[in-house]
Structure 1
Amino acid sequence: MTHMQKIRGISAACLLAVPLALSGCSLLGMDASSSVDPPPTEVEAQMLEISGDTLDSGVLGPVTLDANTLEASAPAAADNSSTEPRTTVYLEDGNGLLAPVSLSLPSGEGATTLKDSLTALVSKGAYEALLPSGFQGMLPAGTTVQNVTVDKEKGLAVVEFNAKFNDYAVQDERKILEAITWTLTGEEGIKGVQLWVDGKKLNEMPLNGTPLDRPLSRTMGINLPKSNTLDMNSSAVTVYFSAASPKGVQYYVPMTRFVPAGQEPIKAALGELLSGPESGDGVETVMTAGTILDSVEEGQNGVVTVSLKDDMFVDGDKVPAEMLQSVVLTVAQNSKDSLVQIRLNGKDAVTGTNEVNYGKPVSAPQYLNEMPL
């Protein structure tokens, strides 16, 4: 039994109170080729708008603090986590969801690295052999990344593809945009993305007409729910659930959820995490049925303290790493503070099954979802 299998075994035992949803179906119960319904036009426009107040760089990694503040950083979830440089790209998993996967691509600098990261998204492309089992790129086969330029002042990446980019299935249109946008905005300094095809700027996508009159950003969301009724009084938060590859390797999946406008983003996101995924989402719940969010405090030292209560755990119990890491990822994605410390049942020491003490400030891993091929 591998280390990760042992962790998953412990987690499964702890989370039996909540049914798991890895049925092999795709997002929202549709087959893998089906589409996710886009939000209404007015909400789509709002989500596609770049906003300096809500836009984050998506770079989640170790932060240097003084010795009194930070003792350790949480490692990546997979057994093969390493310190070697990797590139995180967003690939489609077997359930039709986009997930970040950290790959060992050829080393390069600047535009070369960005071109390689997008090339990894090409179906049956040059880097297909580097993708883990069960994952695939969203860009049509034959797509070539002709050029990537970055306006550092504006934080804007301009990407030019060849005409093969247009040869996609209409139901994949939004997922393609999400994969490109979340991959590029994971690079430091890039907040928005603009698309060109064969020397011409795209003002809308060619098949379903998704508007591209303004730069794409992470405000567009990822892995949108179908069941939500969206209106202008909704706000988007990103929540990380867990899933498993065909080889049984655990990984994390970001999913956009909509909450009433005006809620504090971190609390709202954690509330969605506690509520768990919807039936047919293709991801697993990571919290027990008895977990309660007691409080969230944003300290002046840049650390977010999340206090949880759960009578399933007593002093000295090791808590499933998936549960704790999902909290860290969710908080980091929905706040400017990438450091998180967790209190459980009032205790400062909260040790995960990965032997990390989440009672001390930790950061989301620099390379998320490093998986074997």
Structure 2
Amino acid sequence: MKHMKQIRNLSAVCLLTVPLALSGCGLFGSESAAVDPPPGEVEAQMLEVSGTTELDSGVFAPVAPEEKEAVADKDAKAAAPAEAGERTTVFLEDGNGLLAPVSLSLPKGESSAMLKDSLTALVSKGAYASSLPEGFQGVLPAGTEVKSVSVDKDKLAVVEFNSAFNDYDPLEERKILEAITWTLTGQEGIKGVQLWVEGKKLTEMPLLGIPLDRALTRSMGINLPKHGTPLMNSSAVTVYFSAAAPDGVHQYYVPVTRFVPAGEEPLKAALNELIAGPESGNGLEMVMTQETVLDSVKAGQNGVVTVSLTDDMFADSKNVPNEFLESVVLTVAQNAEDAPVQIRLNGKETVTGSNNIDYGKPVSAPEYVNELPL
């Protein structure tokens, strides 16, 4: 296995970088079904709660060319995805039809330009197609042009596309929204997204009519299960499973939204879904064994979440597979506002991964997930 990249210490919290080279086969076998759009009533309710009044300014339009520089300086500074030479994360479709975060290097530019580039990377056969890792592709229609991206005072990213944006496969409609939303809201300072095409604000998607009357946020979910549960009886959590890259050597992580009974504590529910494993047919792999048990989840006064697990397969809590531990870290971060996590396994406070990192000490999710080779 490839060693972890260098770790930066941030006070008592270590910044964990996800390793790349892992076994191509699943830890405990691969569960393998296509992810279909959720039922109509679930779709409408998820999108209804995906925005807030503060985010949707209603009349806020894409910035005219002469205004872009001023807006970038005033409103979008906090939304700059990366310094020159660093990386940014975009959501691309993998070979299993799922959206996954992928870390890319983009050209040097101002914050607004880099936001445009991050969306341009989502264009099928676009300018950055040759820069994508093997097995990944953008979901925006070929020929789509990102005309502008601006960020208002309410941290709403307003995106304007050319008319080619409308030329998509109807079955890809929700996936397109997820890719755009999760890519932009992954940037610091952006909480929601609003879409325009050729100077006209979209109130619904052109083909299937998914409503866009509110700002899109990550509460819309991603990679939803084939069979959704009405939201009146459930809530949504997002967990991270692993998958093998086409080269059979590298491993990457994929977020999946699950519905759980309403009223359950989100972190505990998310971790139990992680233990339950992925649905069949989507290429995702089990990251834990069927014997893994969640004993407790506790948030400390210092903000660190302590996750206590039991699994007799790793009795000494040493050389535990990276996928097991890192999926926990990513899942906690996703459902607890990027909180750092420390893991207890079989009652032991030292939990060493196969990358020689002690997950018994506080670690946080990586700044860039899935740094895959081209």
- Give me the TM-score of the superposition, normalised by structure 1: 0.84
Offset at 1:46?
Answer: 3.8
Q: Residue deviations 1:216-267, cap 9 Å, x none? A: 0101000000123324121000010000111121000000000011111100
TM-score, length basis structure 2: 0.83
1:347 match: secondary structure: coil
Question: Could you tell me how far 1:107 is from its partner in structure 2?
Answer: 2.0
- Unaligned runs of 5+ residues in structure 2 are 4-18, 56-83
Per the alignment, residue 349 of structure 2 pairs with: 348
- Distance change >3 Å, CA 338–CA 108, structure 1 → 2: farther
Match of 1:201 in 2: 201
Partner of 1:241: 241
Matches within 5 A, 1:122-137: 122-137=123-138
Distance 1:318 1:127 in 2: 38
8 Å Cα contact 2:237-2:258 kept in structure 1: yes
| 1:323 aligned partner | 324
Cα pair distance change 1:186/1:195, threshold 3 Å: same
Structure number with greater CO (CA < 8 Å, separation at least 6) is 1
Output the amino acid matched with 2:238. Answer: T
1:102 aligns with 2:103: yes
The answer to whether the 8 A contact 1:48-1:219 is kept is no
Letter in 1 for 2:189: G
Alignment RMSD (CA, Å) = 2.0
Counterpart of 2:223 in structure 1: which amino acid? N
Provide, for residues 179-204 of structure 1, a one-character-per-residue CA deviation record: whole Å limited to 9, x for no partner. Answer: 00000000011111000000000000
- Partner-residue secondary structure (3-state), 2:312: coil
Residue by residue over 1:80-103, the C-alpha shift from the partner in whole angstroms, topping out at 9 and shown as x without a partner, is xxx951010000000000000000
Q: Deviations over 1:318-360 (max 9, x none)?
A: 1000010000000100012520000001111101111111000
- Please list, as runs of the form range in 1=range in 2, the aligned pairs for 1:54-203 lying within 5 A after superposition: 85-151=86-152, 153-203=153-203
Partners of 2:265 and 2:276 in 1: CA distance = 16
SS at match of 1:122: coil
Share of identical aligned residues, percent? 67
Structure 1 residues 231 and 48 mapped into 2: Cα distance closer, same or farther (>3 Å)? closer
Amino acid at match of 1:281: N
Q: What does residue 8 of structure 1 align with?
A: 23
**1:332 aligned to 2:333?**
yes
C-alpha contact (below 8 Å) 2:240/2:256 kept by paired residues: yes
Tell me, in whole angstroms, the C-alpha distance in 1 between the residues paired with 2:229 and 2:51. Answer: 23
Offset from partner CA, 1:133-166 (integer Å, 9 cap, x none):
0000000000000000101x31100000000000
Query: Separation in 2 of the partners of 1:227 and 1:203?
Result: 27
Contact kept in structure 2, 1:302 and 1:337, CA below 8 Å: no
- What is the alpha-carbon distance in structure 1 between the residues aligned to residue 39 and residue 219 of structure 2? 13
- SS where residue 253 of structure 2 aligns? strand
* In 2, Cα distance between equivalents of 1:122 and 1:43: 24
Query: Which stretches in structure 1 are left out of the alignment for 5+ residues?
Result: 23-27, 30-34, 56-82
Correspondence 1:293 to 2:308: no
Query: Counterparts of 2:120 and 2:314 in 1: how far apart (Å)?
Result: 45
SS in 2 for 1:232: helix
TM-superposed deviation, 1:316? 5.6
Distance in structure 2 (CA, Å) of the matches to 1:228 and 1:201 = 29
1:8-47 map, 5 Å: 8=23, 12=26, 15-16=27-28, 19-21=29-31, 28-29=33-34, 36-41=36-41, 44-47=44-47
Query: Could you give the per-residue CA deviations for residues 1-39 of structure 1, whole angstroms, max 9, x where no partner exists?
Result: 866797427x85xx44xx3136xxxxx24xxxxx72233
Partner amino acid, structure 2, of 1:230: P
